[in-house]
């Protein structure tokens, strides 16, 4: 069955298509002027067919009537056999066809019912066609019905408006529609809301499986006005620019080391923010472009607009670039992948004078003396690279560092950062921000209170909030369909298959309740979900255990599985054996970097053959080390498996193949040599 052309909201609303269609005896140029209209809850289209010019050598009765007194061949109509073929073709090539008249109230009633059911149908308005009466005569011959509306579903004659209403009442209409492919009923098989890591992956996979997909992505500007292109948080304001700025700061450290290795460099080296920022933004621009090309190649309809769910199959589209039109689209399935945005504290001056990670990476000026507020990985990573490129940097923390991560490792990161120029204000909460001086950067006074209730006041050029992120679940119409949220987190409640409480609506990525907020997690979830929706035999779900991650602080931190605290909580202290060891990267020896800074820790479950349930590493390239061991943990590796693995020398990673000191023993885990 031919798939109807879906509404393309970003193209003109009417399309002209010329088709050549041949009969046994002759061929004519047939012009089909298809005007697609959207109205509440449905999509309708009316086809007005006209012959442009035909080499008519045998006139029908119509030829005589329309030609009377005139000689023009343009008004000549085809013979009855051709009309029959035309009518049959319309019936055969559209899932639902309503032959109607614009003046007929029963036709309107029938169309209204189809619209209310979000059924896509083709309307042929007979009173608008020159050959309308011929169509009607042919329809009578075909069906015995001389009146309109004359309705066909799946090539079969249903009948009049009354027949349609009756079929609706006795549910046979639903069965007929269910037999049609979903794309014949809806504009799309799948609409994805959100073009970030998860949404893009799901849309591309569904398109790869031959499905008709639309993807919406729209970035609400930050309070400072920052906005960005297709790709979501990771590409534009997350993993990618963060890692590249981290790289800039690591290069600064390497410059110091380089001197020890014989490189003769000027005593003072200076970092240029603008050069770094522009180079990174150029790279991001190329990624944005790449995603657009991928979607175009895969025939995903990318719509740069804000989407709101109206009902379980209908999306309202608004804020389309400058042309603020609103329209509606329907889909059999909806995936929500709207991600999160940074949170601001409710204190005077926060939104007016503060920035977040949404602004930092594209800041047109060097931020200068910066206060990073929060103990999240985003706060520590940003503070780390800002200090690394030579800026005066302070982190204000209410309580612990890196909540949810292994606390021994988190504190070691804090210690390393303190030694490397980052100041920490622990036990402090900001209460107000005032502008002292405008500028780029400006100057701001930050007032805070510490644990003793004493006021702490200082001045900064930039205040960066990294106190957490809120899921984008408001304003997207979840209440219109009753999608359930966790009332505490406002994240979407999903089952193991990413399904919400509404059967055809799914949620992936950062907005899924209890889901790890990481790019590869969102991508994996999107891919598997699209396959599960569209390949009935495919049932694999995401395994959310033992997902590796890395914090890109100046001393990088990679981890998999349980933190020491969580392992003790879960299995009991007596069942947990912790092996640990400091290590000295060989590269650090020549420039005499500090010893006993880099650290490796394996947490094992004694009750289960010392299966490794927690892996932690602090040191250079922690992400690269951790990724490989993630496979081992996924495969259920035991401490014995680690011990029997031969290491690669000289690397940091080999430490994990030769760890023998347990915490319980109290022996020193410090480095003793090569």
**Interface residues toward ligand FAD, by CB under 6 A:** 193-199, 216-219, 232-234, 238-239, 242, 306-307, 337-339, 357, 378, 472, 476, 509-510, 517-520, 522
Residue number, 44 or 197, with CB nearest to ligand FAD: 197
Q: Look up 94 and say whether it is catalytic.
A: no
Residue number, 189 or 510, with CB nearest to ligand FAD: 510
Contacts of 559 (CB under 8 A, 6+ apart): 405, 406, 409, 548, 549, 550, 614, 615, 616, 617, 626
* Cis bond upstream, residue 650 (ω within 30): yes
CB 321 within 8 A of CB 304: yes
Residue number, 184 or 234, with CB nearest to ligand FAD: 234
Per 3-state DSSP, the chain is made up of helix, strand and coil in percentages (nearest 5) of 35, 25, 40
Q: Closest separation between CB of residue 235 and ligand FAD, Å? A: 8
Q: Closest separation between CB of residue 333 and ligand FAD, Å? A: 16
Contacts of 261 (CB under 8 A, 6+ apart): 590, 591
Active-site choice (246, 270, 609, 649) = 649
Q: Closest separation between CB of residue 291 and ligand FAD, Å? A: 11
Residue number, 62 or 510, with CB nearest to ligand FAD: 510
Q: Closest separation between CB of residue 287 and ligand FAD, Å? A: 12
Residue number, 129 or 250, with CB nearest to ligand FAD: 250
- Scored b (16 or more CB within 10 A) or e, 514-552 reads ebebbbbbbbbbbbbbbbbbbeeeeeeebeeebbbbbbb
Residue number, 152 or 465, with CB nearest to ligand FAD: 465
Residue number, 221 or 636, with CB nearest to ligand FAD: 221
What is the spatial order of strands in the sheet that 455-460 belongs to?
A: 429-437, 443-449, 455-460
Give the whole-angstrom CA distance, residue 156 versus residue 549.
57
CB 200 within 8 A of CB 307: no
Which residues are 20's β-sheet partners? 29
Residue number, 261 or 289, with CB nearest to ligand FAD: 289
Question: What are the φ and ψ backbone dihedral angles of 648, each rounded to 5 degrees?
Answer: -105, 125
Q: Closest separation between CB of residue 399 and ligand FAD, Å? A: 21
Question: Which DSSP category does 656 fall into?
Answer: G
Instruction: For the chain, state the CA radius of gyration.
Output: 33
CB 365 within 8 A of CB 441: yes
Give the whole-angstrom CA distance, residue 472 versus residue 486.
13
SS3 at position 100: strand
Strands 306-311 and 314-318: antiparallel
Helices within 298-318 (DSSP H only): none
- The dihedral built from the CA positions of residue 289, 292, 297 and 298, taken in this order, carries a sign that is positive
Q: Closest separation between CB of residue 232 and ligand FAD, Å? A: 2
Which residues are 372's β-sheet partners? 395, 464
SS3 at position 336: strand
Taking CA 631 as the corner, what is the angle to CA 627 and CA 635, rounded to the nearest 5 degrees?
A: 160
Q: Closest separation between CB of residue 427 and ligand FAD, Å? A: 24
Give the whole-angstrom CA distance, residue 149 versus residue 153.
13
Q: Closest separation between CB of residue 382 and ligand FAD, Å? A: 7
| Catalytic sites, residue numbers | 649
């Amino acid at each position: 069955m031919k798939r109807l052309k879906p509404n393309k909201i970003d193209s003109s609303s009417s399309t002209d298509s010329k088709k050549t269609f041949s009969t046994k005896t002759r061929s004519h140029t047939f012009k089909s002027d298809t005007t697609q209209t959207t109205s509440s809850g449905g999509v309708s289209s009316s086809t007005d067919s006209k012959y442009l010019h035909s080499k008519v050598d045998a006139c029908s009765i119509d030829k005589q009537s329309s030609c009377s007194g005139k000689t023009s061949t343009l008004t000549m109509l085809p013979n009855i056999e051709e009309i029959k073929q035309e009518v049959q073709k319309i019936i055969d090539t559209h899932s639902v066809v309503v032959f109607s008249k614009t003046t007929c109230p029963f036709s309107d009633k029938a169309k209204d019912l189809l619209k209310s059911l979000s059924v896509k149908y083709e309307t042929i308005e007979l009173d608008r066609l020159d050959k309308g009466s011929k169509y009607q005569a042919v329809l009578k011959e075909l069906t015995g019905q001389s009146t309109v509306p004359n309705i066909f579903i799946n090539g079969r004659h249903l009948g009049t408006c009354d027949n349609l209403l009756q079929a609706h009442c006795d549910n046979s209409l639903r069965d007929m529609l269910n037999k049609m492919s979903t794309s014949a009923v809806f504009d799309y098989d799948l609409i994805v809301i959100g073009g970030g890591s998860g949404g893009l992956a799901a849309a591309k996979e569904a398109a790869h499986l031959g499905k008709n997909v639309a993807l919406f992505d729209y970035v609400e500007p930050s309070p400072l006005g920052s906005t960005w292109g297709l790709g979501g948080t990771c590409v534009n304001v997350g993993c990618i620019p963060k890692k590249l700025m981290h790289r800039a700061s690591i290069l600064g450290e390497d410059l110091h080391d380089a001197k020890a290795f014989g490189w003769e460099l000027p005593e003072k080296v200076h970092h240029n923010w603008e050069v770094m920022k522009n180079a990174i933004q150029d790279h991001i621009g190329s990624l944005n472009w790449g995603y657009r090309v991928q979607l175009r190649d895969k025939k995903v309809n990318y719509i740069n607009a804000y989407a709101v769910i109206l009902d379980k199959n209908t999306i309202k589209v608004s804020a389309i670039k400058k042309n603020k039109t609103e329209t509606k689209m329907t889909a059999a399935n909806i995936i929500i992948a709207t991600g999160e945005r940074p949170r601001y504290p409710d204190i005077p001056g926060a939104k007016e004078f503060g920035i977040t990670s949404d602004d930092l990476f594209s800041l047109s000026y060097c931020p200068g003396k910066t206060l990073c507020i929060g103990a999240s990985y985003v706060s520590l990573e940003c503070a780390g690279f800002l200090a690394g490129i030579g800026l005066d940097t302070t982190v204000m923390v209410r309580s612990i560092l890196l909540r949810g991560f292994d606390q021994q490792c988190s504190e070691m990161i804090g210690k390393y950062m303190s030694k490397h120029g980052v100041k920490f204000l622990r036990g402090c909460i900001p209460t107000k921000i005032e502008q002292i001086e405008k500028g780029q950067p400006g100057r701001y006074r930050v007032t805070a209170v510490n644990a003793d209730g004493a006021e702490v006041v200082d001045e900064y050029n930039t205040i960066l909030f990294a106190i957490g992120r809120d899921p984008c679940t408001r304003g997207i119409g979840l209440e219109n369909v009753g999608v359930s949220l966790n009332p505490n987190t406002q994240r979407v409640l999903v089952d193991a298959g990413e399904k919400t409480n509404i059967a055809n609506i799914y949620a992936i990525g950062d907005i899924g309740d209890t889901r790890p907020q990481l790019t590869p997690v969102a991508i994996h979830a999107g891919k598997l979900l699209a396959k599960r929706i569209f390949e009935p035999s495919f049932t694999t779900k995401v395994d959310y255990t033992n997902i590796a991650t890395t914090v890109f602080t100046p001393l990088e931190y990679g981890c998999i599985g349980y933190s020491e605290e969580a392992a003790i909580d879960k299995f009991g202290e007596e069942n947990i054996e912790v092996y640990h060891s400091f290590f000295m990267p060989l590269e650090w020896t020549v420039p005499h970097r500090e010893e006993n800074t880099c650290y490796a820790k394996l947490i094992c479950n004694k009750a289960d053959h010392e299966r490794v349930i927690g892996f932690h590493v602090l040191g250079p390239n922690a992400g690269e080390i951790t990724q490989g061991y993630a496979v081992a943990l996924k495969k259920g590796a035991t401490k014995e498996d680690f011990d029997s693995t031969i290491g690669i020398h000289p690397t940091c990673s080999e430490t994990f193949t030769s760890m023998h000191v347990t915490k319980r023993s109290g022996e020193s885990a410090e480095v003793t040599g090569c």
